[in-house]
Amino acid sequence: MSILVDENTTFMIQGITGREAVNMTRECLDYGSQVVAGVTPGRGGRDVYGVPVYDTVREAVAKHHVDGSVLTVPPAFARDAAFEAIENGVKLLVIVTERIPRGEVAQVIELARMRGARVIGPNCLGIISPGKAKMGGIGGPAADTRKAYQPGPVGVMSRSGGMTTEIANALTAAGLGESTAVSIGGDAIIGSSYAELMPLFEADEETKAIVIYSEPGGPMEAQLADYVRQKERAGRPADLRPRLPIVAFMAGRFMDAMPGMRFGHAGTIVEGRQDTAAEKVRRLEEAGIAVAEEIEAIPALVKERI
């Protein structure tokens, strides 16, 4: 099993005729993903590596079964593209685009919740279920993706797209492998946080542990720690308690000496003590989440806890 995507998942790429999207299309197809359509207004009737291009999402979904969409459109058009996908029944959006205004991201997330859709990103590389499918640019070319990602029992979530692959590579080299890896996005406002994705991993019988990559800034680690603690409260039925051990790697600890500094992502602005690496590590460990000092230590911590 896996979460979000598998070998049967069909998706389109909005903005498919852009240079980066063309490369992404080739990489996804080479990996075996079912890219069934693309959308670029004014480019209808063309194709990208055999994938038909349409002017609108409505045309694409009328001719193909579409489970999800990867959005690679420029920031100025991202909200409208997301609205178009959601209003035409697409239930999974992977938004690769960076620098979308926060207010517009919030509007997309709100509409998605109203329509029962899920958003991954923005500013993310996507999702992969090794050996089944990948949705987005995660892992890069298919040959590189197959080296870094192998089927296994560990779910991976990361705010950094590149570090998603670094963690997966360490797990694969240690003989573990991944059930699903999700690059959730590095912006301050994103569609799916660690805590929001945890129930999906908990429901996946093949997932035996979770690894997350974290940075200073933002509330997601505190939300994950609260999720774990709430599910472990005394008196909760056993089937509601978390069954998955979690290992975290916290980057950017040097930022604790530089308040107000931004590290890599828009979501890593440290606005107070609660956003520092030290405070996040404390909260995670208090919730029973192991924190690795370095990436190379992650596999051993996972093996201890499976």
Closest CA to 205 of 155, 169, 135: 155
What does the chain come to in residues?
306
Task: Record the tokens describing residue 249, joined without a space.
Answer: 């790697």
* Catalytic positions, written as ranges: 265
Half-sphere exposure of 218 (CA within 13 A, CB side): 22
In Å, how far are 14, 62, 72, 123, 251 from 76, measured between CA atoms? 14, 26, 11, 14, 31
CB burial readout 220-231, b (16+ within 10 A) else e = bbbbbbebbeee
d(CA 127, CA 143): 17
> DSSP for 156-220?
EEESSHHHHHHHHHHHHHTT--EEEEEE--SSSS-S--HHHHHHHHHT-TT--EEEEEE-SSSSH
